[in-house]
Amino acid sequence: MLKKSKNSKYPLPPVPPNVEEILKDIETFHVELNTENLSRQSPGSDAQHLDWWTRFEQAVADQKSLIMLSSEIKSYELKLESKKIELETEAQLLENAVQEQRDQIDEVLSKAKF
């Protein structure tokens, strides 16, 4: 009735190897281990590992303190900026007050001349 279509777009996956082929491959498989790498993992390397670990922990602590210092510096910068704005407004108010007094003095002097 209905014909099953062939999947020509995607080929079938390869057939897995049988036990005989796997055993044959195992015979040809060879791993070389360096004795230098094995000797590096001696008890003396534990001291190096601990030394590395303490240096790492110190670096992490230093980074955290630098982050805290950076945030403190930013907060001080904001405080300094707000104080600067406050001083500028106070200076402007003082300049305005001085200018008003000068105007009053000029007005009094101009009235006194007449």
Smallest CA-to-CA distance from 78 within 38, 103, 70, 4 is with: 70
Question: Residue 5's Cα: distance from chain center in Å?
Answer: 56
Residue type, 44: G
What global pTM score does this model have? 0.44
Per-residue pLDDT tens over the stretch 32-89: 777 666 555 555 566 666 788 899 999 999 999 999 999 999 999 999 999 999 999 9
